[in-house]
Amino acid sequence: MSTMYCFQCSREYAEDVSACVECGVDLVEEAPTPPEEVGTADEAQVAYEMHDWSFEARSRAERLLTEAGVVHGWQGPMLIVREADEEQVDALVEQAEAEGDATPSLDPDVDKIGYAMDDWTDDARSALVTALNLNDVRHEFDEDGELLVAEDDEEVVDAIITAITEKLALEEELGEATTEMEGLQLNDLLGDVRGLAQKLVKNPGDAKATIAIVSKAGLLADVRTPFGFDSRRWAAIRKGGADMKSVLSDEDRTEEDVVDAAGTLRGLLENVV
């Protein structure tokens, strides 16, 4: 079976998947070039900020660059090319814009509400735009960088912003996950952790369960978001694993501490395995 790739985040997918579940963009057949490998060490790079481009527009830009044989990479929605290719890339970017709307546009006649983005990082802004596009929320940024949406979409935008800020806060607390795990291996880990957590809820003094879950919960906390999982929910599962390990590593823990941590972790894995 062939492998498909997300050109933005480099996640791998089976050939029957058409779009990245995290980035929303169309998948490509060729593995993307890591941005740090665009050009040689002594060649300058140029970055094109495309956070506010639609999924379709970024996919068009990727297609045109690939067809033209331009070496390029992506850091999320930021396009990285060699400075030597800037003139050619400018023309291709203009072509991608000309082939269709580059950004989702708001109806000029609808009542709008604004959200200040001054304190948002590039990563947070990128996640926000991706979520807005996935939820078909038309939006635009004004000259001051303020996000504008229709008043009718206020409730869904508020929910998106809350979800993103909570997810990013969890990821900042936990750090970047480094372990890739899918399929049966992942199912076995989730099943083992849930079963051990259940044992500790019933008997927080269970020595065998305590020893077993410390390493497994620590491993769970380091697993990157698997295919098919909502990234926000997975961040919560990672934190549940980290908290379980932390509690059991505390010599001053009480049985109530163990039961609370184990119960929370068991609940997070409910309906997962």
Q: For tokens 């508020």, what's the residue?
A: 158
Please name the residues in contact with 157: beta carbons below 8 A apart, sequence gap of 6 or more. 113, 115, 132, 137, 139, 149
44 lies in the same domain as 72: yes
Structural domains counted in the chain: 3
Of 67, 98, 129, the residue that ends a domain is 98
| pLDDT digits (tens), the chain, 273 positions | 578 999 988 888 888 888 887 777 889 999 999 999 999 989 999 999 887 787 888 899 999 999 999 999 998 888 999 999 999 999 999 999 888 766 656 788 899 999 998 888 877 887 788 788 778 788 888 778 888 999 999 999 999 998 888 878 877 788 888 898 988 999 999 999 999 999 999 999 999 999 999 999 999 999 988 877 877 788 889 999 999 999 999 999 999 999 999 999 999 998 876
142 lies in the same domain as 199: no
- Burial (CB < 10 A; 0-12, 13-18, 19+), residue 115, is middle
For 95-113, how does the pLDDT look when each residue is reduced to its tens digit (9 = 90+)?
Answer: 998 887 666 567 888 999 9
| Domain ranges, residue 71 | 3-98
| Cβ pair 3, 12 in contact under 8 A | yes
Instruction: Give the CATH number for residue 118.
Output: 3.30.70
The mean pLDDT value of the chain amounts to 88
Of 120, 142, 174, the residue that ends a domain is 174
165 lies in the same domain as 204: no
What residues are paired with 190 via a beta bridge? none
